[in-house]
Amino acid sequence: MTRQKYFFCYAMIAPALILTAVLGIYPMLNSLWMSFVEFDLLRVASFGTPFVGLDNYVAVFSDPRFVQTLLNTILFTVLAVTATLVFGLLLSQILNGTYPGRTALRMLVCVPWFVPPAVASAIWMWLLNTDRSPINFLLHDLGLITSDIRFLTDSATWGPFSIPMMSITAVRVWNGLPFAVIFLLAALQSIPRSLYEAAEVDGASLWQKFWYVTLPSLRPVLAILLTLLVIGGLGSFEINYIMTGGGPQNLTNIMAVYSYQQAFSFYRFDLASAASGIIFIMTGFISVFYLRSQLKKVA
C-alpha cells in the first residue's frame, strides 16, 4: 500500500519537478556559473568560455557605472518598499471601515494592479512628458513651480536622489500598491473585533489603537509582505527598462536593467551574469531565511 502511494506521489509530482528543475533551478545555477567564466559572445567562437574565477565580479565592481547602479537598486527598493507599506497600511485601514461606497472604492484602488508593467510605463511616460504633463500645468496653476519639472530627464542630483529616480519609484509604487493593500486588508479582517473593543474600554485614541492593536497583530503578515516587496524590488526590470533605459546619466539604472543591457546590447554575458549573480545572492539569501521560517510552520 505505501509503495503504491509513494509511486503515485512521485508520478504526480514528476512533471512539475522536472520543469522546475529545467527552467528554474538549473538556469539559476548555470547563470551563476556563467559569472565565473569568460563569456563574450563576440569572442566565444575562438576562445570558448575559460574559467576566470572572480574576474567578472572584480570587473563590474571597478566600473563606477555598476557601483552607481547597485546603489540605485538599493535606494529604489528602500523607497518603493517604504512608500508601498505606508500607503498600503493607510489605504487598507480605510477600506476596512464600514461606510457606503466601500466596495466601489476597493475596486478603484485595485485598478492599477491590472495594468501590465509595460502599459504602466507607457501611460506614465505620457503623463510625465515634460511639455505636456497635466501635473506640471496643475502645479503651475497652483503657483507651486515656475518652470516645468523634467520628470524623466532632469539630471540634477541631490546626493543619491534625483527627479527621474523619484518618478520611476512613483510608477513602481503605483503599480504595486493594490497588491499590498489587498494583502493587508485580508489580514486586518482577521484581527478579532474584541481587541479593539477592549482598547476602546481603556479609552485608547485612534492612533493608539493602530499602534498597540493593529500593528502588532499585523506583524507576521507585514514580515511576509516586506520580504516579497524587497525581493520584487531588487529584481525589478520592466518599468526602468521601458521608461528611461537607465538614463539620464545612469540615474535610474538598476541591476536587472544593467544585466540585460550588458547581455543583449554589449554581448558580455559574463558581466551580465555577474550582475544578475549579485541579485541572485541577495534575493537567495533573503528567500532562504524566509523559507526556513515558513517551512518550520508546516513541518
Total residues in contact with another protein, by rule CB under 8 A? 110
Residue 28 near another protein by CB under 8 A: yes
* Contact residue for another protein among 54, 58, 71, 123 (CB under 8 A): 123
Residue 73 near another protein by CB under 8 A: no
Residue 157 near another protein by CB under 8 A: no
Residue 16 near another protein by CB under 8 A: yes
Residues 85-104 binding another protein (CB under 8 A) are 87, 90-91, 93-94, 98
Taking the least distance from each CB to another protein, the nearer of 159 and 190 is 190
Q: In the bound complex, what is the minimum distance in angstroms from residue 126's beta carbon to another protein?
A: 6
Query: Kind of pairing, strands 161-162 and 157-158?
Result: antiparallel
Residue 205 near another protein by CB under 8 A: yes
Residue 269 near another protein by CB under 8 A: yes
> What gap in Å lies between CA 175 and CA 107, rounded to an integer?
15
Residue 45 near another protein by CB under 8 A: no
CA angle 208, 209, 215 (to 5 degrees): 100
Stretch that binds another protein, among 15-23, 50-58, 69-77, 211-219 (CB under 8 A): 15-23
What count of other Cβ atoms lies within 10 Å of the Cβ of residue 268?
A: 23
Task: List the one residue out of 74, 88, 117 whose CA is nearest residue 283.
Answer: 74
* Contact residue for another protein among 240, 260, 261, 271 (CB under 8 A): 260
Residue 274 near another protein by CB under 8 A: no
* Contact residue for another protein among 114, 146, 158, 159 (CB under 8 A): 114
Residue type, 61: F
> What gap in Å lies between CA 154 and CA 88, rounded to an integer?
29
* Contact residue for another protein among 183, 240, 252, 271 (CB under 8 A): 183
DSSP string of 51-75, one letter each residue = B-TTHHHHHHHT-HHHHHHHHHHHH
CA angle 69, 290, 61 (to 5 degrees): 20
* Contact residue for another protein among 177, 213, 222, 271 (CB under 8 A): 177
Q: In the bound complex, what is the minimum distance in angstroms from residue 277's beta carbon to another protein?
A: 8
Taking the least distance from each CB to another protein, the nearer of 46 and 190 is 190
Phi, psi of 42 (to 5 degrees): -80, -15
Paired with 260 in beta bridges are none
Residue 44 near another protein by CB under 8 A: no
* 31 and 277 Cβ atoms separated by less than 8 Å: yes
Task: List the one residue out of 79, 92, 96 whose CA is nearest residue 230.
Answer: 79
Residue 222 near another protein by CB under 8 A: no
* Contact residue for another protein among 56, 162, 259, 261 (CB under 8 A): 259
Paired with 40 in beta bridges are 268
